[in-house]
């Protein structure tokens, strides 16, 4: 009987130890989640979209925007407005602009990583590429990125990046942009494709548009510039040798539309632009999306990730729901271009 009593006591003691260990593990897990929420730690689980969301949880979001221009500014604003609407005062933002320098993007991302932000918004392709290189744990959402397979070097891209990256794309139907150029300028012979060679997605766009235009009988010529320093020289050459110029959704060109307009408009060479902000600055027409709405969509994705409602590794890239034909009334009038029905005037 004494021996049996000792055995029973040992069993009861062991059960109490296990019970205490279980309680301790639960508390530890709770503290880790809270730490991840306020920026003290980011776990692999966090990166896969299972972050807190508990009452009292706070989040810090790092925003890396490549350069300041209308389209990217609108996407950032839509993102911020939506996350504030979804999370209120629980979310704060560290908003940084790289002033068009991809190396600065890397510095910004590294600071976000060392600061343990809970999520990174990478606005434009170079910002996304820097984020990809900077962390494989913190969730990254791209926006204003045309083609993720091209931007991230993914062969046979199927629409989902996987890992810690997802986002939204500003890709417009390039064949429809080519068709719009043909609708407005059916008698043109030569089209100049003006773009920044440092932007991989710009190359993708002009390649696609070139093939479509050549199928319509146009002769197309590439006019690539490496950065804003040689844009003026290349744009002058393009305007002297082209009947029409096409510019894709190119961030370097978008931040220098005044330079382009000051060259192309006096030369009487119309510009078809890849998006509305560029068209407002130097173009006659565009088939464009709302970048603010694109940011709204990205913000909704971020809210789901931060609240633990979605796993970022399983989230496919989202695209703009609609595209609108728009024209620049001022530039069209100065060039004597008649715009057919079905186009919406860009607001001054």
Helix (H, G, I), strand (E, B) or coil at 208: helix
At 317 the pLDDT is 98
Percentage of residues of the chain with pLDDT beyond 70 = 84
Domains of the chain and any CATH numbers: 47-170+290-316 (3.40.50.2300), 174-288+324-345 (3.40.50.2300)
At 321 the pLDDT is 82
Q: What is the pLDDT of residues 129-156, one digit of tens each?
A: 999 999 999 999 999 999 999 999 999 9
At 54 the pLDDT is 53
Q: What is the pLDDT of residues 154-206, one digit of tens each?
A: 999 999 999 999 999 999 899 999 999 999 999 999 999 999 999 989 999 99
Task: In whole angstroms, give the CA distance from residue 117 to residue 162.
Answer: 20
Residue 271 pLDDT > 70: yes
Structure tokens at 248: 């894709």
Of 131 and 42, the structure prediction assigns the larger pLDDT to: 131
Residue 230 pLDDT > 60: yes
Task: In whole angstroms, give the CA distance from residue 59 to residue 53.
Answer: 9
At 227 the pLDDT is 87
pLDDT (average), residues 49-78: 84
Give the C-alpha distances (Å, rounded to integers) separating 330 from 224, 265, 279.
Answer: 27, 11, 11
Q: What is the pLDDT of residues 85-116, one digit of tens each?
A: 999 999 999 999 999 999 999 999 999 999 99
pLDDT (average), residues 289-316: 97
What lies within 8 Å, CB to CB, of 335 at 6+ separation is 265, 268, 270, 284
Give the C-alpha distances (Å, rounded to integers) separating 130 from 67, 155, 229, 289.
Answer: 14, 19, 23, 25
**DSSP H/E element including 222:** strand 219-225
Residue 9 pLDDT > 60: no
Q: What is the pLDDT of residues 306-337, one digit of tens each?
A: 999 999 999 999 998 889 999 999 999 999 99
């Amino acid at each position: 009987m004494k021996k049996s009593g000792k055995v029973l006591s040992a069993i009861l003691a062991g059960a109490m130890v296990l019970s205490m260990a279980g309680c301790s593990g639960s508390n530890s897990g709770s503290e880790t989640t809270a730490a991840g929420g306020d920026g003290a730690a980011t776990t692999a689980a966090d990166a896969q979209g299972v972050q807190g969301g508990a009452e009292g949880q706070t989040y810090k979001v790092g925003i890396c925007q490549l350069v300041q221009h209308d389209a990217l500014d609108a996407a950032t604003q839509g993102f911020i407005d939506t996350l504030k609407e979804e999370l209120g005062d629980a979310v704060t933002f560290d908003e940084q602009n790289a002033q068009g320098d991809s190396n600065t993007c890397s510095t910004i991302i590294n600071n976000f990583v060392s600061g343990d932000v809970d999520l990174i918004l990478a606005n434009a392709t170079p910002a996304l590429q820097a984020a990809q290189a900077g962390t494989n744990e913190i969730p990254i959402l791209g926006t204003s990125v045309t083609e993720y397979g091209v931007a991230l070097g993914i062969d046979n891209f199927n629409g989902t990046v996987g890992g810690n990256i997802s986002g939204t794309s500003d890709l417009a139907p390039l064949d429809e942009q080519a068709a719009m150029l043909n609708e407005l300028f059916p008698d043109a012979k030569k089209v100049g494709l003006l773009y920044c060679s440092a932007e991989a997605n710009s190359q993708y766009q002009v390649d696609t548009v070139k093939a479509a235009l050549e199928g319509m009988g146009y002769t197309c010529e590439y006019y690539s510039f490496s950065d804003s320093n040689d844009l003026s020289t290349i744009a002058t050459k393009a305007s002297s040798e082209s009947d029409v110029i096409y510019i894709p959704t190119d961030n370097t060109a978008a931040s220098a539309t005044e330079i382009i307009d000051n060259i192309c408009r006096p030369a009487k060479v119309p510009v078809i632009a890849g998006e509305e902000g560029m068209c407002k600055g130097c173009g006659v027409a565009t088939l464009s999306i709302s970048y603010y709405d694109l940011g709204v969509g990205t913000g909704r994705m971020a809210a789901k990730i931060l609240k633990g409602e979605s796993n970022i590794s399983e989230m496919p890239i989202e695209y703009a729901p609609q595209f609108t034909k728009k024209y620049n009334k001022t530039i069209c009038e100065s060039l004597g271009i008649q715009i057919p029905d079905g186009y919406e005037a860009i607001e001054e």
